[in-house]
Amino acid sequence: MDDIWSAEVCDDVWKLFPDNHNGSRIILTTRLIEVATYAATGQKIHMMRFLDDEQSWRLFHHKPSLKIMTSVPHELIKLWIAEGFMEWQNESERVEVVAEGWLEELINQSLVLITSWKIDGKIKSCRLHSMVRDFCVRQAGHEKFLLPVMDYFPTPILRKHFLPQVLQNHPRISVSWHDLHLRDSIHSLSTTSIICIPQRGYRPKGSVENFTSLRVLHVLRRNDRSYWELGQVFELIYLTYLASNIPDSIVPPAIAKLQNLQTLIIYRFDVRLPVEIWSLRQLRNLIAFSFQPLPLPKGEAPLKSLAT
């Protein structure tokens, strides 16, 4: 019996097929850990594992439509928090702990698949099955929740002509780096999140001066050398999340304008922060490949919310 979704179904099966000790077996498949545990009382649970390279190649030949999408967890959780998705009853519980619980729930329902683990046993990276991803993309488009621009407009010509219009109806977009360089035609007062996908070749500085309502600005690939024009970024006073490379390792004092910033991720080594970093009272996560020693704050250190 394939794809069982509740323990009640298991009870119904036992009623119809009582155990008369004749050696027969019923095999159930489920994506839910709790259903498997309930159904397997006294029996063995077989946990499916990922295929090795040879098995994956063989499956690819037979099922070429199978696709996956990789994401990085700690950044995923920080994005959830920055977007304001988190709601929880117990105020004494850290929001990061609640978000990790949500992710584990998605994993227990096999909607998210773990691909690697950290040394401490926590999740390092995960992925979506192609069917789950396709469903999410369709539903997000239907609800105008998220527009994955390259899924809907696969060629640069289509994006150049249609992107300016569709931006006005979508608060969140994932878009290529080059599409954001169309300065004169790309603008939106309703877009609150940009997930940017860098591309190979010539990389102009990204332009976000016409997205004044942005809360999240994120470059996906850590080893890419693309970066935003910081003069524009520091005018985005509603930003809660910023992840990007920067032109050089020195962060200018103008970062003090981002008083709503909760997460700052800089894809550089030896990052030098200004003393103004201490004025960002809502900052929870401050991350780079490495930092130079922070300058001492003037008076009491106010970064009481800093967690990472």
| pLDDT, tens digit (0-9, with 9 covering 90-100), for 70-82 | 444 778 888 888 8
- 238: pLDDT confidence band, cut at 50, 70 and 90? very high
Looking at the fold, whether 94 and 212 belong to one and the same domain comes out as no
Evaluate if residue 257 carries a pLDDT over 90.
Answer: yes
* 265, part of any domain: yes
* Together in a domain, 44 and 57: no
Q: Give the residue-averaged pLDDT of 47-56.
A: 78
One domain, residues 105 and 80: yes
Edge-to-edge strands, sheet with 113-117 = 68-71, 123-129, 113-117
- Residue 304 counted as domain residue: no
32 and 67 share one domain: no
134-159: b (≥16 Cβ within 10 Å) or e: eebbeebeeeeebbbbbeebeeeeeb
- pTM confidence score: 0.72
Residues 30, 78 within the same domain: no
Is residue 38 within 8 A of residue 11, CB to CB? The reply is no
Instruction: Tell me the pLDDT of the chain averaged across its residues.
Output: 81
Of the candidates 71, 106, 129, which is a domain's last residue?
129
pLDDT-derived band at 222 (thresholds 50, 70, 90) equals: low
The rounded distance, in Å, linking the Cα atoms of 135 and 166 is 20
CATH code for the domain in which residue 266 is found? 3.80.10.10
Pairwise CA distance, residues 287 & 148, whole Å: 27
Shared-domain flag, residues 156 and 280? yes
Q: Which of 81, 103, 129 is the last residue of a domain?
A: 129
Q: Check whether residue 96 and residue 180 sit in a common domain.
A: no
Return the residue matching tokens 């994005």.
79
Domain limit, last residue, from 129, 164, 188: 129
CA 214/CA 188 separation, integer angstroms:
9
Q: Domain of 22?
A: 1-48
78 and 122, same structural domain?
yes
**Are residues 1 and 113 part of one domain?**
no
Instruction: Give the pLDDT confidence of 166-221 residue by residue, as tens digits.
Output: 777 788 988 877 777 655 556 677 889 988 877 666 565 667 878 888 999 998 76
Q: Is 299 part of any domain? A: no
Taking residues 93-97, report their average pLDDT. Answer: 80
Are 42 and 60 in a shared domain?
Answer: no
User: In 188-202, which positions are buried (b, 16+ CB within 10 angstroms) versus exposed (e)?
Assistant: beebbbbbbbbeeee
Same domain, 96 and 112: yes
Asked whether residue 301 is assigned to any structural domain, the reply reads: no
Cβ neighbours, 10 Å, residue 277: 19
**What's the domain count of the chain?**
3
Is there a contact between 86 and 80 (Cβ–Cβ < 8 Å)? Answer: yes
Q: Which structure tokens are listed for 207?
A: 């332009």
One domain for residues 87 and 103: yes
